Chain A
Amino acid sequence: MKFKLVMFFAFAILMVGVLSMAQPLQLVFWGGWTGPDGNVMRQLVTEYNGGHPDVHVTLTTMQWTPLFTKFLVSSRGGQSPNILAMHGPDIPEFASYGLLTPIGNVIEENGFKSSQFAPAAWSGTFYHGKQYAFPLDLHMNAIYYNKKLFRKAGITLPTGWITGKEFLNMAIKLTIDKNGKHPGEPGFDPNNITQYGIALYSLNWHGFLEWYELLRQQGYEFLNSSMNKVGYPLSAGQKAWSWLQDLFFKYHVAPIGANSPLQDFLIGKTAMLEDGPWEIPAMTAQKGLEWDTFPIPQVFKHKAVWGSGHVLTIPIHQDKKHMKAAENFVTWLVKHSDKWALSGNIPAYNSAREFARTLPGRTGFLESTPYETMLPRIPKESQVFSSASVSPIVVAGQNILMRNKDILPVMKWMNQQIDMIFTQ
């Protein structure tokens, strides 16, 4: 009887061992792709799972802000995901909390060289000299334009960078009131515009980003060299805001306080839209819309455009086996990021980016890639560059671009609020 009992338990332990060995290793992957880009990533994950029976990756997507809150809470409880997507500028904050694993030479060990990636994407993975992430893509602002409306206005379809003046002339030609008149013409009625030249974001933090790229076009950094205080010259900031403000209130080429600039563009109410490549699926889905892109105008001395980039990090709290499997998955993902280009994002990996050239509407983004400028990389990024309604950068953008407030006092208020965040 005793022998039978021992045999039974030995058999049971053996079965449990065999069954657990047969189970694929589970990897948890979190990302903030809640639009069509989420479906593309899901397809990539499915493809990976299909080709790697020993590993099973589960992708969870939700909006970035709650995702990061969830990450902080989960990390506190020792339950980090195995792979976490974020943006390059998010790295300093999470790295300074000690929640990300420095990846060392893993990228090189997997056969990559830094020269195989877009420089902005590669440098965006480092913080304090350590690399914390695999670069996946870049996404920056560009100008979407409606080809039909351009042809109707007799404007040559743009392909590369144009000056601010050329852009403004185009926007004026494309802005029409109910009597068919353009801004500046006698009798033009700014209260009855039927078609606008350009849709710009002014309600959310993109208003600030539109300004930031113009500040960078003048060659200035937003923060001081110690990255702990606002550091740009007010005159440069004023020039940038002023250029944007005039589009709304002086030239009337952009609708004031537009709730949905994308919708306005999709239905042909506006002829151009400044936005990122994440809108490409929406453009493609819009029946009858003939569209393409070109870089944002070069208003000042240098070419510069705001952009960011998705990166893939490996959070702490995991054993070597999971970490290795996570590295393998991420490496595979980077190598296959040509398919990620279908989401609209511009792959960071050079050869994958070449594939993006074959896809429609990527011209503006690809031309902009060498000039992409990210937001300063600071540990207090979630507060200083927050998209929340109380964020100084959001409120400043709304006051200047929507409420036509005097630029200087608003800018000083914004700077003072940001400096205060640094001291908290």
Chain B
Amino acid sequence: MSLTKWNIVGQAKFVGLQNFIDLFRDTNFTRSLVNTLYFMFLTVPALVIGGLLIAMLVDQSLKGRVVTRTLVFMPYVIMSTVVGVIWLWILDARFGILNYYLSFLGIRPIAWLSSVNWAMPAVAIATIWWTIGFNMILFLAGLQDIPNELKEAARIDGASSWQVFWSITFPLLSPTMIVVVMLTLINTFQVFAQVYVMTGGGPAMATLTVVQYMYVQSFQYYRLGYGSAIAYVVFIFLIAFILLERKLLKRSGDLN
């Protein structure tokens, strides 16, 4: 389909590689790609490092750890569109609860969703809140797989908490880490629903992402051939992430 010009209704017309040529000349597509990478830059480190820190916290034998695990994971079961609507209200410039609390710190109301500078961070905040629980669960499973004896032996040998983490926990957690990083990269590259609901890709294309652009071209402009060409680019990126993951897992000796 990516080699055709087709609007669903009529006959598809073969156009060779024209859709791909147009795509790489299309400044809106480049913009969407850059925006997606910016979104990944905002979310991936927070989701991975934040997920790990929360997992380490709730892995301790502290009071309320079960409740905390549940509370952190809970947003993940909500539908993405509902997440979008919830944050639409939280981030409203005039009535939003976030600006209300920020006002106590003397911060003037921020136009989260209508400002070119703030719209993408706003979508990133909503995404982190929504998906960090999933990473936490994966890390928690990885942490609980590490035998306690190893940590205890290190402590008896006089290792500090940091040394235990850096020399024992982190290396043994690396297969989980690779999986979490790759899943997060793949998921964030495909961001769509939050953007669709919260900003629609605006303002002034500040939150236009690749999948959103694919949707617009395919289902709002009825350019199915062009939309398919965008889908191929998304596919190539995802394949690259997966190949990278396999390579890293192979290196860590965890790929069976």
Name A residues whose Cβ lies closer than 8 Å to a Cβ of B: 65-66, 69, 72-73, 75-76, 97-99, 191, 203-204, 255-260, 263-264, 269, 382-383, 386, 388-390, 394-395, 398-399, 402-403, 424
Contact of A259 among B8, B94, B212 (CB under 8 A): B94
Q: Are A394 and B202 in contact (CB under 8 A)?
A: yes
Contact of B203 among A65, A69, A398 (CB under 8 A): A398
A389 to B203, CA, bound (A): 7
Q: Are A389 and B200 in contact (CB under 8 A)?
A: yes
In the assembled complex, which residues on chain A have CB atoms less than 8 Å from the CB atom of B205? 389-390, 395
**B120 at the A interface (CB under 8 A):** no
Mind listing 25 A-B residue pairs with CB under 8 Å?
A76-B8, A97-B7, A97-B9, A97-B10, A98-B9, A191-B108, A257-B115, A259-B93, A259-B94, A259-B113, A382-B222, A383-B221, A386-B216, A388-B201, A388-B220, A389-B201, A389-B202, A389-B205, A389-B208, A389-B216, A394-B202, A395-B202, A395-B204, A403-B116, A403-B203
Interface of B, secondary structure class, is loop
Name B residues whose Cβ lies closer than 8 Å to a Cβ of A: 7-10, 28, 88, 92-95, 108, 111, 113-116, 199-205, 207-208, 212-213, 216, 219-223
A255 to B92, CA, bound (A): 14
Least CB distance, A411 to chain B, in whole angstroms: 15
Which of B114, B116, B208 has most A Cβ within 10 Å? Answer: B114
B113 to A, closest residue via Cβ: A259
A2 to B36, CA, bound (A): 74
Least CB distance, B214 to chain A, in whole angstroms: 11
Q: Are B200 and A388 in contact (CB under 8 A)?
A: yes
In the assembled complex, which residues on chain A have CB atoms less than 8 Å from the CB atom of B94? 255, 258-260, 263-264, 269
Contact of A398 among B10, B202, B222 (CB under 8 A): B202
Q: Are A203 and B203 in contact (CB under 8 A)?
A: yes
Least CB distance, A326 to chain B, in whole angstroms: 21
Least CB distance, B136 to chain A, in whole angstroms: 31
In the assembled complex, which residues on chain A have CB atoms less than 8 Å from the CB atom of B88? 259
A395 to B, closest residue via Cβ: B204
Q: How many pairs, one residue from A and one from B, have CB atoms within 8 Å of each other in the complex? A: 92
Additional A-B contacts beyond A72-B7, A259-B92 (10; CB < 8 A): A72-B8, A98-B9, A204-B200, A258-B93, A259-B94, A260-B94, A383-B221, A390-B205, A395-B202, A403-B204
Contact of A390 among B7, B28, B93, B199 (CB under 8 A): B28
Least CB distance, B178 to chain A, in whole angstroms: 35
Contact of B199 among A97, A389, A399 (CB under 8 A): A389
Known A259-B94, A263-B95: A390·B201 in contact at CB below 8 Å: yes
B195 to A, closest residue via Cβ: A389
Q: Are A390 and B203 in contact (CB under 8 A)?
A: no
Q: Are A388 and B203 in contact (CB under 8 A)?
A: no
Least CB distance, A350 to chain B, in whole angstroms: 35
In the assembled complex, which residues on chain B have CB atoms less than 8 Å from the CB atom of A99? 9
In the assembled complex, which residues on chain A have CB atoms less than 8 Å from the CB atom of B93? 257-259
Contact of A382 among B28, B95, B202, B221 (CB under 8 A): B221
Q: Are B219 and A69 in contact (CB under 8 A)?
A: yes
Contact of A260 among B8, B92, B199 (CB under 8 A): B92
Q: Are B221 and A386 in contact (CB under 8 A)?
A: yes
Known A72-B9, A388-B200, A395-B205: A402·B114 in contact at CB below 8 Å: yes
A264 to B, closest residue via Cβ: B94
7 A-B pairs with least C-beta separation: A389-B201, A257-B114, A389-B202, A72-B8, A97-B9, A388-B216, A398-B204
In the assembled complex, which residues on chain B have CB atoms less than 8 Å from the CB atom of A257? 93, 111, 114-115, 203
In the assembled complex, which residues on chain B have CB atoms less than 8 Å from the CB atom of A395? 202, 204-205
Contact of A402 among B28, B199, B203, B219 (CB under 8 A): B203
A383 to B, closest residue via Cβ: B221
Least CB distance, A128 to chain B, in whole angstroms: 18
In the assembled complex, which residues on chain B have CB atoms less than 8 Å from the CB atom of A424? 223
Contact of A75 among B9, B212, B220 (CB under 8 A): B9
Least CB distance, B179 to chain A, in whole angstroms: 33
A76 to B88, CA, bound (A): 36
Contact of A389 among B8, B114, B212, B219 (CB under 8 A): B212
A191 to B10, CA, bound (A): 54
A222 to B113, CA, bound (A): 30
In the assembled complex, which residues on chain B have CB atoms less than 8 Å from the CB atom of A76? 8-9
Least CB distance, B155 to chain A, in whole angstroms: 53
In the assembled complex, which residues on chain B have CB atoms less than 8 Å from the CB atom of A403? 116, 203-204
Q: Are B216 and A390 in contact (CB under 8 A)?
A: yes
In the assembled complex, which residues on chain B have CB atoms less than 8 Å from the CB atom of A260? 92, 94-95
